[in-house]
Each structure stands twice: as C-alpha cells, then as structure tokens.
Amino acid sequence: MPLLGIDTGGTFTDFVLLSDESPGLRIHKVLSTPQAPEQAILQGIRELGLADCEDLLVVHGSTVATNAVLEGKGVRTVFVTNTGLRDLLTIGRQARAELYNLNPAPVVPPVPRELCLETGGRLDADGRVLETLTESDLRTLRSTLEALKPQAVAINLLFSWVDERFEKRIAEVVPDGMFVSRSSHILPEPREYERGITTWLNASVGPLVQGYLQRLCAGVSQAQVAVMQSAGGTIDAAQAGEEAVHMLLSGPAGGLAGAQYVGGLAGCHRLLSFDMGGTSTDVALLDNTQSGNLPLTTEGRIGAYPVGVPMVDMHTIGAGGGSIARIDSGGLLQVGPESAGADPGPACYGQRAAGTGLQATVTDANLLLGRLRSDAFLGGHMTLDENAARTAIAPLAKRLGLSLEQTAQGIIDVANEHMARALRVMSVQRGVDAAQLTLTSFGGAGGLHVCALAEALEMSQALVPAHAGVLSALGMLVAPRARYLSHTLQQQLSAVPDGPLLRDVQQAITTLAKRGREALIDEGVDADSIRLSPSMDLRYRGQSFVINLPVALSTNSKTSLNTQAIGQAITRVTRQFHERHAALYGHSLQQPVELVTLRVKVHSPPSQTLILQSDHETTFAHKIPATSYVSLAGVKTHVPVYARKNLPAEIRGPALITETVSTTYLAPGWFCQRDASGCLLLLKR
C-alpha cells in the first residue's frame, strides 16, 4: 500500500511518499494555498501520479484548525453552561497580560454574551445533584437555539467530568445540523475555565475542519485519509472533525515525530529541535532516554487561549524564511512575526504583482549572502530572483546607512537572536544545559541557521536529518495510530496503596483501554499490535498544577492488569514524583502526593519501515553538479558547494550542502560527517 505523508505549512505543502514499487522515499513540494489548503494537496497528489491510486493511505498534518483559532475565524458558536456562569469564559482566570498596566486595553470576550446560555443541571464536586435539569429547561434551551441559529454548540456544565448525564441530555435536544461539543467528552477533567475554553474551541473550529476534510476526502475518494493529532498520533479523518481541538498542533507534532525517529537512527537521543519553515519556528526538547514518547503538555496555549488536551510540548515564534524585515519607529531593524507566506512569498520568489512594493524577508537575505543558490532551489525546479531580493533589501540598507550585504547579515542576525531566545526557553530556562544536547534542525530554512544557533547556545554538536526540509511530512509516516484518553480520580497516594485505590485505577485503565482499542480496531488496526502507555498527573496535596509521569505497566492492550502490579507501579511513580519535583523546582516536600488524572495512550506502531536514502528521492531533477565553488559574503575564499547525495565522508566548513528541499550552511570552524542513514552530524572543533 502506498503511504503518503503530507504537511501543510504557511508557505509550502510537503509530500513524502513510501511505496512498495520503488525503494526509499520520494519527496515533493508545492506552494500552499492558504484559502483552500486542499487545493495544494490535490495538486501535489496529481503531480506525484497518485490521483487514481486505489489503495493509497494519506496521513495529513493540517493547519486549518490552528489558523481559524489564531485569526478568530471560527463559526458562530453558542456556549451552554449552568445558571449564574454565563460569563465564565470572559472572566477566565483574571490573568493580566501586563501586570502593572492600570489601563489595559479591553479584551474581546471569546463568546458574545448573547450567545452564552444558562440552564439547570448543576452537580457538586462529588456528583450530587444541586439543581436538576428539567424538561422545561430543555424546551427553553432548544427554542433559544432555534432562534439564535448558531452553527455549533459548546456544552460545559460544572463537574460534568464526574457525571456526564446532564450534558448528554442537553446534546440530545440540540437541533439537527448544529455541531455539538461536550466537555465531558472532549476534556473530562477539572478546571472549569480550561475545560470550557477547550470545548468552545472544539465547537468553534469543528465545522470548518469537518468541511475541509470532507472536501479533501472527496478529492481523493479512492484513498484512506488519516490526520495527525497534536499529541503525535494519527486518527481517521472521519473522526478527526468531531475532535478538531486535537489538531491545533497537527503539523508541528509530525515534525517532532520525525525528529525523534531520525535521532534514534543517528544515535542521538537528547535533542533540542528547531523546525524553521517559511512562517514560523517551532522549538522542543526531546529526551529519548526517558519514556521514549514525545514530550506532551496539558497546559499548552494557542494564541490567547489555554488548551487542556494533550499536545506536544513546544514553543513557537514568528520567525521563518518568509518573516518580513522592517525598520521600526525607533530606527531599529526588526524581523517578523509578520510573514510573506506563500502568496506573494519572499521577494525572490517573483510572485508579487507588477507595480506593488517588495518586502524583504529572511529568505531574500540568505539569497543575497550567497547561502541560497538561485539555480538550486527545489533542485532547480524553482529559480530565485536575486535582483528582486536586492530591490527589496535596498530601502532598508539606505535607511540604516549600511551596504546591502551588511543589511542582509543584520536580518539574519536578528532572526537568529529570536530563535536562540526560543531555544533557551526550552532548555536553559528549564534547568537543562544546552551544551549536553544535540541541536537538531529541520524545515526548509533550518539548515541555513543551525551552526549560528548552536554557537549562540555554546553547543558543539548538531544534527541535520535526512530529508530535513520535509521532516514534518516524513513524521506523519512514522507516527502511530493512537487515542489519548483520560479519567479524573483525585485520590491521595500512599506508600502502600490500599484496595479501593487499586480497584479504581484498575477499572479506569481497563475502561479507557477498551474505548481506545475499539476505536483503533474500527479504523482497521490489527488488534494484536495495540499497546497501552498509562501515565498519571500527580501533585502535592494543595497544589494547583501537576507533573505527568509514565506508569510502568503491561503494554499489551488485551492483558488484564492485576492489583498487585498496579500497587507496585504506584509506589514507583510516587517516588519518581518526588525526584522529578526536586529536579524541576529545586526541592521536594514531605507532603502527601495526590493522583489527579489518569491518562492512557492506546496506540499501534506503523506497519512499514522507512529507508531514508534512495537514488529516487525526489520528483525534481537536481540540476547542480556534484561539487562547485561560489563566493559568500563575509568569506574570503571560494566556498565549495556539495550535492548532499554525493557528500564525502567528512568535510570542513565553510561549505554549502544542497539538496532538493533544503540547504545546509556549514560555517567556518565546523566539520560535517554523513552517517549510514544519510543524516549530517555537525561538530564544532
């Protein structure tokens, strides 16, 4: 069965194809179509000759949900909650973006007050009914929804994670044609504000995601389509629309899955990764010496909103190849976060209409400095316009009183500082010595900046994976089919766990495993391949925030868990919690440890193995010779340019290493070694 990984980015849509008909991988790129992302996908599928393929499996990372949230373009959504709580999402946690600003700008509420509806059905923390949900409440609610005519309804009642019956009853009376999102289904956990925002986000973008996936599936009607989730697992497209909030970091999660995979092949297990594309840079810390799973968080944010569902733990900034350079009101050079995107793209793409102004970007600066080759972009498939890049940078140079090359270098330096700061957030600020990690760069622009960023963090080792320019799409192929399920228990742990606790944990794991197992089997996953990865959210009693730790239990989803094994696992994880708390915060407490939420990842690994190297790795003809020499700004001698597939065992910087979908700049003082998997190991000597 041909397997096609697709990552839709802000500038390019990337394709990686694994097929039984030819060894290795085929890679491809097309410019994204942000207004209708499926058009670029269908174009790429046609160009790959897969339009009529009957057994194609497509695994796709989508930005539709992310863009809708960031741009505030969700559908008209009604928020239903208990009487007296209609302002819940507006009040939030009363956190202020600027603590000492006495006159903050008014914040637009997530949901207009007229779309916030109140009803009965109130529970207390133990699940006792304080106010029942009457038939009159339901009739009133239905008539109000018919009058308001929203496209979606978000239902978030107090303590519905204890008992979901009232939320289910409300969902039953919602008029046909309205998308329904229940908090007891999307996020059955405490913290009513975070649960409410997550449920509302799911409802707000759900119809958009459903419509997009339906159009995509209709365009490839003979293929099976799966979608990457924010936590690093894939889900069938037919179910993905119902849980759109799980797709907010869909593409970046694919990049981390790919980085983890190739890092293992290269023997590098502690990675500080940065994915630099055309619009943004995503930074993450991967430590495969621990659980082997991608680092997840339930305290992530998208724009101004907290998102309580599990997602990859990363930090994102608006710095990419398309980031626009400008002079601010104080006369200083700034880069980003605004991006030229795919249309019109950087000035050197030559896509701006005649007579309109050119805006300089990071890509234009790299081209002007000679680090990008105009005749080798996308393997020669796309020619870059160096004159347009000069024209775009010239006004900035004039205002700064610098040469074109000095201004271009300034643009690169400012962009690098933004990215270095993001890398420190995920390493130094977490108490991790960056020098002990391997800086791993990917994305179309990452290789051009990897050496400078490693030097900024005093790192001596970096990794540029094979197919780094499309690693997020490659990550779609190595990601497991998965479900991420949770159940809140809120029970105190003890050195010797007692019977009731053990039975509650056993029942919760069994129930979650059954739900996840049935969902995967419905997608056609082999039952014998399904595994479990339980974890626990723990805290000291009285704390507000938790630490998630893996629980060492049997990984076979069909194996019955006995209470003795659970007791031993709880004892171990309690000890590990004290150690982890001390490592993160510098101290541990002699306080009882409380289990808040039990989580179970139900997953099945991909059935096919990737061979990263191949002589047929691209749909483009690579037009540059095996080795040539060019002049680079700031480098006195001529610099060799190597085609990556013909790279010697070891080379010394300065040098350029070109391939179809990216270029790596090996700075002076750096050495490069190519391993058996095709990854480039960069060493500072």
pLDDT confidence of residue 361: 94
What is the rounded distance in angstroms from the CA atom of residue 332 to the CA atom of residue 327? 5
pLDDT value at residue 23: 63
Tell me if 625 is assigned to some domain.
no
For residue 654, is the peptide bond before it cis, meaning its omega torsion is within 30 degrees of 0? yes
94 and 62 in one domain?
Answer: no
Instruction: Compute the average pLDDT of residues 446-471.
Output: 93
The CATH number of whichever domain residue 140 belongs to comes to 3.40.50
Asked if residue 141 is part of any domain, the answer here is yes
**Do residues 228 and 146 share a domain?**
no
pLDDT in tens, 542-557: 898 899 999 888 666 5
189 domain-assigned? yes
Supply the pLDDT for residue 615.
41
What's the pLDDT at 141?
Answer: 96
pLDDT above 80: residue 28: yes
496 versus 635: which is more confidently predicted? 635
Q: Strand 57-61 relative to strand 3-8: parallel, antiparallel, unpaired?
A: parallel
Q: Any residues with CB less than 8 A from the CB of 357 and at least 6 apart, and which?
A: none
Same-domain check for residues 132 and 169:
yes
**Residue 508: CATH number of its domain:** 3.30.1490
Residue 562 confidence (pLDDT): 81
d(CA 155, CA 219): 33
Residue 307 maps to a domain = no
**Domains contained in the chain, number:** 3
Q: What is the pLDDT, as a whole number, of residue 620? A: 44
- Strand order of the β-sheet with 531-540 is 25-31, 12-18, 3-8, 57-61, 224-228, 234-236, 481-492, 593-604, 531-540, 547-550
Domain end among 584, 604, 624: 604
Q: Is the pTM of this model over 0.75?
A: yes
Strand partners, 540: 593
pLDDT in tens, 128-166: 999 999 999 999 999 999 999 999 999 999 999 999 999
The answer on 199 and 85 residing in a single domain is yes
10 and 121 share one domain: no
Residue 557 has a pLDDT of: 56
Amino acid at 266: A
* Backbone φ, ψ for residue 31 (5° rounding): -65, 135
All residues at 6 or more sequence positions from 680 whose CB lies less than 8 Å from its CB, including other chains: 463, 464, 465, 644, 647, 657, 664, 672, 673, 674
The answer on pLDDT for 380 being more than 60 is no
Return the percentage of the chain with pLDDT > 70, whole number: 93
Give residue for tokens 């304080």. Answer: 130
- Distance CA(267)–CA(409), nearest Å, equals 34
Give a yes or no: residue 434 inside a domain: no
Q: Both 56 and 8 in a single domain? A: yes
Q: Please report the pLDDT score of residue 357 as a whole number.
A: 65
- pLDDT digit string, tens, across residues 160-175: 999 999 999 999 999 9
The CA distance from 210 to 462, in Å, is: 40
Widest CA span of the chain, in angstroms?
Answer: 83
Confidence at residue 397, expressed as pLDDT on a 0 to 100 scale: 95
Indicate whether 499 belongs to any domain: yes
Considering 604, 633, 659, which residue would you say is the last residue of a domain? Answer: 604
pLDDT beyond 60 at 1: yes
Would residue 310 count as lying in a domain?
A: no
**Residue ending a domain, choose from 190, 219, 250:** 250
Average pLDDT over residues 250-273: 90
Each residue's pLDDT tens digit, 74-107:
999 999 999 999 999 999 988 777 888 888 888 8
Residue-wise pLDDT tens digits, 491-532: 888 766 778 889 899 999 999 999 999 999 988 888 989 999
Flag whether pLDDT at 558 surpasses 90. Answer: no
In this structure, the answer to whether residues 158 and 103 fall within a common structural domain is: yes
CATH number of the structural domain spanning residue 242 = 3.30.420.40
The secondary element (H helix, E strand) that includes residue 604 is: strand 593-604
Task: Choose the weakest-confidence range: 73-77, 176-180, 206-210, 297-301.
Answer: 297-301
Residues 6+ positions from 559 with CB-CB distance below 8 Å: none
What pLDDT, in 10s, does the model give residues 307-318? 999 999 998 888
Alpha helix stretches (DSSP H) within 93-191: 135-148, 165-173, 183-186
Helix (H, G, I), strand (E, B) or coil at 666: strand
pLDDT at residue 26 above 90? no
Smallest Cα–Cα separation from 185: which of 269, 232, 135, 244?
244
Tokens of 87: 């302002």
Please answer whether residues 285 and 349 qualify as being in contact, where contact means their C-beta atoms are separated by less than 8 angstroms: no
Instruction: State the chain's mean pLDDT as an integer.
Output: 88
The burial of 590, by beta-carbon neighbours within 10 Å (0-12 exposed, 13-18 middle, 19 or more buried), is given as exposed
**Segments forming the whole domain that contains residue 76:** 70-209
> 56 with 118, same domain?
no
pLDDT in tens, 384-434: 889 999 999 999 999 999 999 999 999 999 999 999 999 999 999 888 899
Q: Are residues 84 and 203 in the same domain?
A: yes
Query: How many whole angstroms separate alpha carbon 492 and alpha carbon 251?
Result: 38
Residue 107 lies in a domain: yes
* Pair (493, 595) in one structural domain: yes
Please tell me whether residues 112 and 39 are part of one structural domain.
no
Residues 32, 80 within the same domain: no
Mean pLDDT check: name the lowest of 39-48, 615-624, 675-684.
615-624
pLDDT for 616: 42
What gap in Å lies between CA 217 and CA 38, rounded to an integer? 9
